[in-house]
Chain A
Amino acid sequence: MNIIVCVKQVLDPEIPPAKFKIDPETKQVIPPPGVPPVISVYDERAVEAACRLKDTHKGNITVISMGSEKAADVIKHAISMGADDGFVLSDAAFENLDSFGIAYVLSKAIEKIGGYDLVLCGRQAADWGAGQVGSILAEILGIPIVTLACDIEAADKNIKVKRIVSDGYEVLEAPLPSLVTVSSEIGLPRLPAGMRLMIARKKQIPVWTAQDIGAEASQLGTDNAHTEITGLSVPDRKTECEIITGATSSEAAVNLAVKLNELK
Chain B
Amino acid sequence: MNFLVGTWLGEWLTGLGRITLLARDAIASGLTFKFSRRDLLYQIYFIGIKSQSVVIVTGAFTGMVLAAQTYFQFHKVKMDTATLAVVSVSMCSELGPVLTALMVSGRVGAAIAAEIGTMRVTEQIDALRTLATHPVDYLVVPRLIASNIALPLLTVEAMAVGIAASYVVGVHLLGIDPTYAWYNMLKYSNDADVMIGLIKSVVFGGIIALVGCYKGMTCGLGADGVGRATTEAVVYASITVLISNFFLTMVLEHLCVLLGL
A pairs with B: no
Chain B: residues with CB nearer than 8 A to chain A?
none
